[in-house]
């Protein structure tokens, strides 16, 4: 939205498109391959997309770049319409999918390690001042 959005949408929908070179799209001419959320309305200000639950039917996501996410006014659809004055146009966002290859996120860290219990390495000002004075006097 912006200050020019005089008529915000009552419902918003979100859909996704596979990367062009992935050959996963059943209809390459379609703007969307799957719906992520349809007709979001009310006071919802945050939407979390769980890719394990809400994905393209019959096709698994894979690590790739060039996915598209479309956000649009549900009353007008995702087509390339020209919105009237004060309305939001469909917006597209590029994103990439990646696979986390971590098998053990604590690899290399001692079992039971508590980072908040680690000793502070901060140097006291008086130690620095003493070392500077001793250096100036040629002692040490």
pLDDT for 59? 78
Return the structure tokens found at 80: 């390339």
Evaluate whether 52 touches 106 at the Cβ level (below 8 Å): no
Q: What is the pTM of this model?
A: 0.62
pLDDT for 106? 66
Tens-digit pLDDT profile for residues 10-49: 888 889 899 988 888 888 888 889 888 888 887 777 788 8
Nearest 5°: phi and psi at 79?
A: -60, 170
Evaluate whether 51 touches 61 at the Cβ level (below 8 Å): yes
Which residues of the chain fall short of a pLDDT of 50? none
| 99 Cβ contact partners less than 8 Å away, ≥ 6 residues apart | 63
pLDDT for 52? 75
pLDDT for 128? 63
How does DSSP assign 43-100, residue by residue?
T-------TTTS--TT----SEEEEEEEEEETTT-SSS--PPTTPPPPEEEEEEE---
pLDDT for 105? 62
pLDDT for 82? 66
Return the structure tokens found at 73: 């006014």
State which H helix or E strand residue 14 sits in. strand 11-17
Give me the residue label for tokens 């649009």: 72
pLDDT for 80? 61
Select from 70, 68, 54, 71 the least CA-distant residue to 24: 68
Return the structure tokens found at 55: 């994905």
């Amino acid at each position: 939205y912006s200050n020019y959005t005089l008529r915000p949408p009552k419902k918003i929908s979100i859909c996704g498109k596979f990367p062009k070179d992935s050959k996963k799209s059943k209809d390459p001419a379609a703007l969307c391959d799957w719906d992520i959320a349809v007709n979001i309305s009310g006071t919802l200000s945050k939407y979390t997309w769980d890719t394990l639950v809400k994905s393209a039917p019959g096709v698994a996501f894979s690590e790739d770049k060039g996915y598209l996410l479309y956000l649009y006014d549900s009353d007008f659809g995702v087509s390339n319409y020209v919105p009237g004055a004060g309305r939001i146009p469909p917006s597209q966002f590029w994103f990439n999918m990646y696979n986390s290859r971590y098998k053990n996120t604590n690899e290399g860290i001692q079992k039971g390690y508590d980072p908040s219990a680690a000793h502070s390495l901060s140097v006291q000002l008086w130690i620095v001042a003493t070392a500077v004075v001793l250096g100036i006097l040629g002692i040490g």
